[in-house]
Structure 1
């Protein structure tokens, strides 16, 4: 069994701690937060689960970066406080840039082996900044549009009244308003949308409406609940499981990018991962509309990086 580190025990980090225990992949989980009392409380609360018959006995404790030297995974969920009345992820960029610089400077000193999963927003910009540090690029993975992908599949499935797992679809680009739903490759259990609609006599899907909702539904959660944590936690746990079990899964993830001639940023593409981290990013064929949207996403992320980088540390 291996060791997991979680940096940041806010609502997202806490939810990940809850969900990751069910994987039965870790014998130790190290919690790091600037508020050690909160981290200690989370460790204590989650230890109380372990008396139940359906739980695993895991050593969950507050620690420091030195204890991550032999970690298999490190999750960075730290974030500046968010305003429930303002859901723009980019507004977090400056404070979270300082956070990721502080965290990565500590991590690079103790390990070069752990898979680092980045969640903090804006995750594409944060992933790019993390790559400025002396750390293997294939081990730095942003959750990117993997969450948008699940939302996209669910929205399509809701229209057709089918199980979302029967929807083959994904989203690329930015985690946010410039996410790019790749409609040209959507299939329903291998069938094109036209074929499926003809065979089932269901109404034609409104692609523009679904595309608009892919990011908007996250804002709906944010404005109503005040935060999002459940879905992104499951996304993170799914990535960990795929890597730890060497499943060689293809998931839309954010890493530093060179594809399509678009450089100096980080955005999501379908990405093959195994126990070593990123193996390959796929420079897929896009239709003209999707290509234009991807270029816009790249430019938006690049501009955010530029704006953040202007500010002195």
Structure 2
């Protein structure tokens, strides 16, 4: 599989490249960035890391199956041969040092609209492919990119799996269980309007419930922890480790043909067209994946308050759409 990371010289882009190459060194990875020198440096460094990933030295047959990591300029994506099978959109304007609270989302939207339009112009020269959007604010950027390209909506996937990991972590703390035993999907907005679906909560495979206070605690934790990380580590760093791990997991699922055969959905931001009574805009909804992106949006039977929160998140997102 050939993955193009648009904004590959960025903190997130380069970390995704490293994580993906470490998880599966057979991937072809191209870092696409106007900052060609840093992109080249990341590509070479990740290439060297594969030596240890595969426990080199290996035999010639194994070596022949490994992919490559390279870098190209921002205007060269249409000339890539072969064409990418999937693109990761991480291109973004530099974050100011004080972008460490929820107010940063509005500034990010204003700064990144033009970048979306420039990248869309470059992507028009290739055939439609799945695009995993990681540029904030993710729901708004995903929608704008879809409207600019007018490719099938299932190709557009806004990344939101970090919320799922954070939700599981906090529930694990509250219930004194391993977070890896917790299943609680998260719908809604990537930001203040997260909607953990507590009605589907499972701990070690068994249905579980949380009190109203516990549910409020989880929502607050998931909303605030990325900004707390940014305050302590610096806005430019962001939550790159959980983000790159989740992204790598999604890409490998798509590369394997998707999740449709297993029926296991993931919640990702994709354009809605009547699902849950919502139209226009993008927000995280449960989807099954295929090699082409979102194969199907599943309409779960939600609790009343979950449906109300989802509608409120949708309205927040729609209010910011300027096309």
- 2:4 is aligned to 5
Instruction: Give the alignment's Cα RMSD to 1 decimal.
Output: 2.0
How many angstroms apart in 2 are the aligned matches of 1:123 and 1:54?
Answer: 37
Give yes or no for contact 1:152–1:214 (8 Å, CA) kept in 2: yes
How many angstroms apart in 2 are the aligned matches of 1:174 and 1:106?
Answer: 28
Structure-to-structure mapping, 1:86-125, within 5 angstroms: 86-87=99-100, 88-112=104-128, 114-125=129-140
- 1:200 is aligned to none
Judged with a 3 Å threshold, the aligned counterparts in structure 2 of structure 1 residues 247 and 82 are, in CA distance, closer, same or farther, namely: same
Shift of residue 162, structure 1, vs aligned partner: 1.8
- 1:76 is aligned to 89
- 2:187 is aligned to 172
- Asked if residue 238 in structure 1 is aligned to residue 237 in structure 2, the reply is no
**Higher mean C-alpha deviation, range 124-133 or range 88-97:** 88-97
Give yes or no for contact 1:167–1:189 (8 Å, CA) kept in 2: yes
Give yes or no for contact 2:25–2:50 (8 Å, CA) kept in 1: no
Secondary structure in 1 matching 2:30: strand
Moved over 3 A (4+): 55-58
How many angstroms apart in 2 are the aligned matches of 1:221 and 1:236?
Answer: 19
How many angstroms apart in 1 are the aligned matches of 2:203 and 2:213?
Answer: 12
- 1:20 is aligned to 20
How many angstroms apart in 2 are the aligned matches of 1:83 and 1:257?
Answer: 32
Structure-to-structure mapping, 1:288-307, within 5 angstroms: 288-306=304-322
How many angstroms apart in 2 are the aligned matches of 1:302 and 1:68?
Answer: 37
How many angstroms apart in 1 are the aligned matches of 2:296 and 2:94?
Answer: 34
Shift of residue 96, structure 1, vs aligned partner: 1.2
Give yes or no for contact 2:21–2:46 (8 Å, CA) kept in 1: no
**Higher mean C-alpha deviation, range 291-300 or range 181-190:** 181-190
Give yes or no for contact 2:258–2:288 (8 Å, CA) kept in 1: no
Give yes or no for contact 2:195–2:310 (8 Å, CA) kept in 1: yes
Can you list the C-alpha shifts for 1:211-242, whole angstroms capped at 9, x where unaligned? 11111111111111122211111111111011
Q: 1:208 aligns with which of 209, 216, 232?
A: 216
Can you list the C-alpha shifts for 1:61-88, whole angstroms capped at 9, x where unaligned? 1122111652111111111111232232
Give yes or no for contact 2:22–2:50 (8 Å, CA) kept in 1: no
Secondary structure in 2 matching 1:257: strand
Shift of residue 205, structure 1, vs aligned partner: 7.0
How many angstroms apart in 2 are the aligned matches of 1:27 and 1:270?
Answer: 27
- Asked if residue 184 in structure 1 is aligned to residue 199 in structure 2, the reply is yes
Please give the TM-score of this superposition, normalised by the length of structure 1: 0.88
Secondary structure in 2 matching 1:304: coil
Judged with a 3 Å threshold, the aligned counterparts in structure 2 of structure 1 residues 130 and 184 are, in CA distance, closer, same or farther, namely: same
